[in-house]
A and B are shown apart, each in its own frame.
Chain A
Amino acid sequence: MNENDIVISVKNLVVAFGDFHAVDGVSFDVRRGEIFGFLGANGAGKTTTIRTICGILNPSEGSVTVDGKDVSSSTAVLKPRIGYMSQKFTLYPDLSVRENMYFAGSLYGMSPKQIDERARKLMDFIGLPQRIPDPVSHLSGGVKQMVALASSLLHDPELVFLDEPTAGTSPQTRVAFWALIRRLAEMGKTVFVTTHYMDEAEYCGRIALMERGKIVALGTPQKLKEQFFPVKPLEIAFHAPVQNALREALKQAGIESAVFGNHLRVRVSDRAAFERACAPFAGQFSVKEVEPTLEDVFLQAVSGREAK
């Protein structure tokens, strides 16, 4: 990897509010043009990290640099290059979409003509009608999110930070969002996105799993799956009602299993022990290898941490 490819570099970042460490010693790099996903439960420290990189929160310890420049000391240069969509709904509810766009764009020094042109393109792309005369407060949640996204992209930033952009939106909206995010990456923008939908994380180039202020796993989705699941998980389907008995037998053999609907999912490191435990139930079930999901990875990463 070329050093020049690194846009954002976070080193030993700690953000403390009083005694509480929202972010507790986090380090990672983000490369130019990648979709970097930040995953974790609510309160894991995702938003705090994103705010610190955007320069609206100061690190307590450690450093955040963008293109080698320290964020907290060079906000003036960096802010025009950053597009930030906050998790909170941050448009002005009493202004119309156009008025909100005008305001946001003008703060970046755009002329009304530039704003109009750019807004038309973005609205087109997102699939929103060109003119929405109503105040933003009359719009539905999904449309509001779309407008907020468009407004954060108005000044054509190189670095796009999206904090839970799809939270609370419909499946269609989520698909549209991700299409747009991929499109942004294709155009060479660096997209930093947080989510707690594990399926969305599959769209990311690389992901970082965050848990209680720390990064517990980092890599491409494929790498993470291989790292946490050297052996693919097994899925057991039953032909007879022996699910509980088999679970019990596996437990005796020291093998944990998870119930997924009417399947059982097992992570097996010792195949022989597994075969032995299953032997009494031969013919009453069938086994196949499955691809681990990121959800599996996340659970594995978190439980591994807790075990330590």
Chain B
Amino acid sequence: MNFSWRRARSVALKEYKHILRDPFTLAVTLILPLVFVGMFGFVIDLDYKHMRVYVRDNDQTSVSRRFLQEMASSGYFDLTPVHSPAEADQALEKNGSPALLIIKRGFGRNVRSGNPETPGQIQLLADGTDNVQASIMGTYLQGVIQKANAVFARDNPELSGGAERAPNGGDQIRSRFLFNPELNSRWFIVPALSTIIIGFLAIVLTALTVAKEWENGSMELLLSTPVRPAEIVLGKLVPYFLLTFFDVLVVFVLAVYVFRIPFLGSFLFYMAACWVYITGALALGLVISVVTRQQQAAIQFAFAVGLLPSFIFSGFIFPIENMPAFFQYFTALFPQRWFLLISRTVFLSDAAPMTLATAFGAIGLFAAAMILLAVHKFKTDVEP
């Protein structure tokens, strides 16, 4: 008895009806990605803007005022002037006041002199309990200083001897971020998040299907018919594939048209990668279902296998380059890692698909392996 497309199609049709009759699953599948991507995209914004800074300007010259103006117009800082040391202390003790900026007396004079030995001095006191914000504040302030220097040099060429020479005389680091010039974290997170949420959803969806048939007894009937494991596996993959692919499209539209994330790569290549990736995730769900044969155990497995590696080993939270060598290789086992690479790359760069051949191959290999495993592990007898 050979593989029968007709039987596979029957299973697929039946599965499709199950999906339509189960409003809860359908709702979860269609709404969950929206909620997750929306939540991460709107609420969790890792970009610090409008950080509150108290300012004590002890210099009170046109140069210091010009500098503060530059700082305020950067958009990163909201400045509140304080007028005495006591007031400054008070401001710092207040809750939610992250930083105090002090411009030292003689700032304007020193800047005007252009002497590398005596630069203009600024002190930033930042709240170290929020180390991320504190260090970001320092970095942004650096940027403001650079810009202020450039502006000052342009406005006062007679003092500084040309724009090339920095008035404070320090070396300057110039970084330029390619592909995401503003280092916009939303650009970075949303494509990655869609990877994780869709992959996870795919695993959970199929993890329940075979287990459900074991639990309600229909598997016994199924096994007494001529249907074969490969036909059941394929028949169960197809409807969930379509459902999950619909999610992919929804998230894509959300990312590109709502969050305005640029999509520079090849759309076709990205779609092909999505197809392979969700197939692999769905097949992994089937493997879990076939092995556990219980919905409760299957869902726990699906969470463990689907969610944890997605966040930890994919590079979503912890950069893979910073992991110990062993774990760098270990992450290669997880398709999420490879698909994350693909989706970030195709969104933010126009790199040729060939540069992602390894990643594409890896998710392809994973999908094939999972399908074979699901078919192979499929029990054709009802022994407990």
Any A CB within 8 A of the CB of B117: no
Q: A86-B217, A90-B220 are in contact. List 11 more A-B contacts (CB 8 A).
A: A54-B224, A55-B224, A55-B381, A57-B383, A58-B383, A82-B224, A104-B221, A107-B222, A107-B225, A107-B227, A109-B226
| Cα(A167)–Cα(B216), bound, Å | 17
Query: Which of B17-25, B195-203, B246-254 is the contact stretch?
Result: B17-25
| Cα(A112)–Cα(B384), bound, Å | 35
B381 touches A58 (CB 8 A): yes
- Nearest to B21 among chain A residues (CB) is A94
A51/B14 contact (C-beta < 8 A), A84-B221, A88-B217 known: no
Q: A92's contact among B1, B18, B381, by CB below 8 Å, is which?
A: B18
Residues of chain B within 8 A of A109, CB atoms compared:
4, 6-7, 226
Q: Determine the interface band of chain B, counting residues with CB < 8 A from chain A.
A: 20 to 34
Main SS at interface, chain B: helix
Residues of chain A within 8 A of B217, CB atoms compared:
86, 88-90
| Cα(A82)–Cα(B221), bound, Å | 11
Q: B17's contact among A76, A84, A99, by CB below 8 Å, is which?
A: A99
Contact with B along A205-228 (1 / 0, CB 8 A): 000000000000000000000000
Whole-angstrom distance between the Cβ of B18 and the nearest chain A Cβ: 6
Q: A107's contact among B226, B380, B384, by CB below 8 Å, is which?
A: B226
| Cα(A38)–Cα(B7), bound, Å | 33
Any A CB within 8 A of the CB of B369: no
Residues of chain B within 8 A of A56, CB atoms compared:
220, 223-224, 380-382
Residues of chain B within 8 A of A126, CB atoms compared:
none
* Tally of A interface residues using CB under 8 Å: 33
Whole-angstrom distance between the Cβ of B290 and the nearest chain A Cβ: 16
Any A CB within 8 A of the CB of B61: no
B382 touches A51 (CB 8 A): yes
A106 touches B6 (CB 8 A): yes
- Nearest to B221 among chain A residues (CB) is A90
Measured CB to CB, the residues of A under 8 A from B are: 17, 51, 54-58, 75-77, 79-80, 82, 84, 86, 88-95, 99, 102-104, 106-109, 135, 152
| Cα(A92)–Cα(B10), bound, Å | 14
Residues of chain A within 8 A of B225, CB atoms compared:
79, 104, 107-108
A91/B220 contact (C-beta < 8 A), A103-B10, A104-B225, A107-B227 known: no
A57 touches B226 (CB 8 A): no
Residues of chain A within 8 A of B227, CB atoms compared:
107
- Nearest to A15 among chain B residues (CB) is B383
| Cα(A186)–Cα(B94), bound, Å | 95
Residues of chain A within 8 A of B216, CB atoms compared:
89-90, 92-93
- Nearest to A105 among chain B residues (CB) is B10
| Cα(A58)–Cα(B223), bound, Å | 13
- Nearest to B13 among chain A residues (CB) is A103
Any A CB within 8 A of the CB of B184: no
| Cα(A96)–Cα(B352), bound, Å | 51
Residues of chain A within 8 A of B142, CB atoms compared:
none
A86/B18 contact (C-beta < 8 A), A57-B382, A106-B7 known: no
A80 touches B226 (CB 8 A): yes
Q: B224's contact among A77, A84, A92, A102, by CB below 8 Å, is which?
A: A84
Nearest 9 A-B pairs (CB), nearest first?
A88-B217, A76-B1, A90-B221, A106-B10, A84-B224, A94-B21, A107-B225, A56-B223, A79-B226
